[in-house]
Chain A
Amino acid sequence: MAKKFVMMREGTATDRAAASTAAWLIIMKSSGNIILMIASMAGGVAFGQYFPDARPTMSSFGRLFMALLQMCALPMLIVSVLSAPRRLLGGEGEAGHAGRSLLAKYAVSLLLGAGLSLTVGLIIRPGNGLDPAAFDFIDRSYAGIQDGISSAADKDVDLVFFLIQVVPENIFAALSGGNVASIIFFCLLAGTAVARVTRGAPVQYFFGLCDELEKAITVLLGWFLRFLPIGLFCLAGSQVYDLNSPIMHALRNFLAALALCYLIMMAVYALVFIRSSRCGLWAGIKELGKPFLVAAGTQSSLASLPVIRETLGRQRALAQEKSYFSAAIGITLNPAGSVAFYALASLFLIQIYDLPLSPKAGVILLLGAVLAGMAGVSIPGLAALSLLSIVAEPLALPHAPVVFLLTGIYPILDSAMTAVNVVANTSISALLGKPAPMSEK
């Protein structure tokens, strides 16, 4: 009897182990399933809400997953950008055209963000009739405003500041610090220089090495992406937002305007992606959903790069080399979501002080928002909000109170901004990776 019981127990344990292994394999195999990803994030939020004590552990695992993605993303970015000028822009006669086309599409994408947020902001007018709770929030935290002013005043943020951020004084320091804009700048220049070198065997060997390295990183990434649902579960669970905070209520018109703007932008980008990659509506949404969710979860464009690459790699209608290159440099050159945010925040600032928006001020605002959005990529965290001064200072506007107000909702803003940036980057990369029309041949 006792022997039978032991056998039963062993059998049960074995069955359980087999069942959990099967479940694990199913999860691993369907790790790219968009429904599973959404379920993981929703489950993470619910778990973090009901078990707050588990948040630190979830945060640790989430950070570990992000570190794995970023570990692959940086070499992938370097290899893509370094070898791209040779493959794409270095071709005789095509360099100028390809470069112009690339920059033109980025400029259009950024202007779409700025123009749309200005249009929405001018119609909704989130800065007029600001909620009294916002003033109360500022009154109670005046020391914070003082600090905000000081920190913003520490940096003389303008075009020169942006260029200083982009041009690396020490490329190794930029690499170790993960300064994406500086790395892209250096790799672009270095790649162009290498492409100009005589086309001997060593140069071919160099590019061959880049290709092999890229393939190896892709394999490595494939392993890590199997853990995507678990990573998203942990990341979502560790970032629980207080949606009932007074500042959320106070800024609800601003958030509504930004949400509307982002929705329209995403619709346009989804259309661009679907048409470029020649996939169906649902398939296109599913494909874009993956980088969108990863960006919203990780709040990092760099960490999302591997997922963008995977998404683009599945689109057989695209020239992958071009789209990979665009995805890599698009992190810095195409932050459309950030540009839309800075444009709307600047307009919000103007409306709070009841100042008229002249066409001259409007042009300063448009260009300043583009510059602030691009500079924001190289400035991590809350400090990126101080870039509002790029627009505010030429217009002689005090930006500290608005920076202070936005600080209260920054985690949500950061998630939304990064997600839209990544969707914009994926779509424009698909557009750039689209083979040239027959007529142009």
Chain B
Amino acid sequence: MNRKLAQSPPRAMPRRRRSMAAQSSRPETGLIAVSPLLLTLAAVCLSLAVGVKPGYGFENGLARIEQSGVLRLGICEEDFPPFSFRSPDHGGWAGYDIDLASALAREMGVELQIVTDQDWEGVIDLVRDGRADIGMSSLSATPERTRKVAFSRSYIHLRQGVLANQLALARLAGSDPVEKLNSPRALIAVRTGSVYRQHLPNYLPRAEIIEFSSWDECYEEVRAGRAAGVIGDEAQLLSWLGRNKGDSMRLIPVILGDKQDPLAIAVPKQEAGLLEYINAFLRHQPQAPDIQRLYWEYKNDSPLESGPQSAGPAIPPSEYPMLALAAAVAFLTAAYLVWAACRSGRKPGQNPAGS
């Protein structure tokens, strides 16, 4: 790895020097003809003096990473399975993003170092300020974020959705779940400052929005049925659903039609060469699998074995009237049918219909 680092710059540099030497050895034909050449030489000398090679960002960004021997990956502290999360097995970081970044680091011949920040905007700031070489952690490539960083080509597209409370959903008017959520009576929870806060009025314009400072609070509101749903991408919805096994009966992911979220790798804006390198790397990666498969692949927990199933609690007193009614209906109907069958008819063999 370090060997490759040591070899890379000398390989590039002599070529440039040879080119410049060839240019400088040309015979001078006059002041007008010479002046562009002099200007170019002056510019090259100046740029060499300040350590910047104009037009050679690829070499610069990559060389810096290779020289340091470390690719710094910026991710969120929070778990976002299956992209980046702390593995319950070894306590370290795991996930699809981590694996992808590791493959990139291997390709560069460097080691991967993980730098974390509180949230996605923090990850963007890490990359912008040069504290991380690249940023991932299921980062959405939004137009707003491109003011601060550049994004690679998307490596996976996630659909947008709402994790809805089923009981709340059933009480809302409408035939389609999305139509139900897009009603003035539907309260949709969202985290303050997240991308979804900006997009929610476009996705569900008629729904009422309620903001919380964390995703956990949003989730709890929906779980308790105080909010109809919480907005997120497919991976988030799966991650929330996976928290508590009993919740899958109460909560349901509702996908918002064709709304898609492209996930990409953030790089510093000036690193055009690094961006090109990463794009080339991504083009050679196998296509990302279906998100649901990815989730269960990384979650890597075996299906729950069915345990001893309790027969359920005793009958609550409030259901005694219903039990009495149902038992009476069952008994009376059975008794009537048997009585009707036992009533004496004509003797056997006397068939009035004469079939």
Residues of chain A at the chain B interface (Cβ within 8 Å): 87, 105, 108-109, 111-112, 114-116, 118-119, 122-140, 142-143, 145-146, 149-150, 153-154, 156, 246, 249-250, 252-253, 268-269, 271-276, 278, 313, 316-322, 351-353, 356-359, 362, 366, 392-393, 396-398, 400-401, 427-428, 430-431, 434-438
Contacts and interface: CB of A to CB of B under 8 A. Distances in A.
A193 B281 CA distance: 78
Contacts of A124: 311-312
A132 B252 contact: no
A316 B354 CA distance: 11
Contact of A112 (B245, B334, B349): B334
Contacts of A119: 323, 326-327, 330
Contacts of B330: 112, 115-116, 118-119
Contacts of A108: 333, 336-337
A118 B330 CA distance: 9
Nearest to A402: B249
Chain A CB within 10 Å, residue with most, of B171, B329, B330, B350? B330
Nearest to A118: B326
A271 B344 contact: no
A125 B311 contact: yes
Nearest to B328: A115
Contacts of A268: 334, 337-338
B116 to A, nearest CB: 28
Give the secondary structure class of A's interface: helix
A358 B322 contact: yes
Nearest to A136: B304
Interface stretch (B97-105, B209-217, B313-321): B313-321
A429 to B, nearest CB: 12
A122 B303 contact: no
Contacts of B241: 139, 142
Nearest to A424: B337
Contacts of A134: 306
Contact of A125 (B171, B245, B315): B315
A316 B341 contact: no
A114 B329 CA distance: 9
7 contacts: A105-B337, A122-B326, A135-B245, A149-B254, A313-B355, A320-B355, A366-B329
B353 interface: yes
Given A269-B337, A434-B345, 19 more contacts: A109-B333, A116-B334, A119-B327, A122-B323, A125-B315, A132-B245, A135-B249, A136-B303, A142-B248, A145-B252, A249-B306, A253-B311, A272-B338, A275-B342, A316-B348, A319-B353, A320-B351, A392-B170, A435-B346
Given A124-B312, A132-B306, A153 B175 contact: yes
A130 B352 CA distance: 55
Nearest to A109: B337
A356 B349 CA distance: 53
Contacts of B92: none
B138 interface: no
Contacts of B352: 319, 435
Nearest to B345: A435
A436 B309 contact: no
A396 B322 contact: no
B190 to A, nearest CB: 21
B318 A398 contact: no
B307 interface: yes
Contacts of A317: 345, 348-349
A400 B248 CA distance: 11
Given A356-B318, A431-B337, A438 B346 contact: yes
Contacts of A126: 312
Contacts, number: 221
Contacts of A393: 170
Contacts of B345: 317, 434-438
Nearest to A353: B167
A400 B166 contact: yes
Contact of A362 (B292, B303, B305, B326): B326
B134 interface: no
B312 A351 contact: yes
Contact of B252 (A105, A128, A156, A400): A400
A358 B328 CA distance: 16
B311 A438 contact: no
Contacts of B252: 142, 145-146, 149, 398, 400-401
A112 B337 contact: yes
Interface string B111-153: 0000000000000000000000000000000000000000000
Contact of A129 (B309, B321, B353): B309
B344 A438 contact: yes
B258 interface: no
Contact of B348 (A142, A249, A278): A278
A322 B334 CA distance: 22
A246 B319 contact: no
Given A132-B245, A132-B307, A249-B306, A125 B313 contact: yes
Contacts of A145: 252-253
A55 B334 CA distance: 41
Nearest to A363: B325
B262 interface: no
Interface in B239-256: 241-242, 245-250, 252-255
B310 interface: yes
Contacts of A132: 245-246, 304, 306-307
B326 A319 contact: no
A184 to B, nearest CB: 20
Nearest to B161: A146
A142 B238 contact: yes
A272 B337 contact: yes
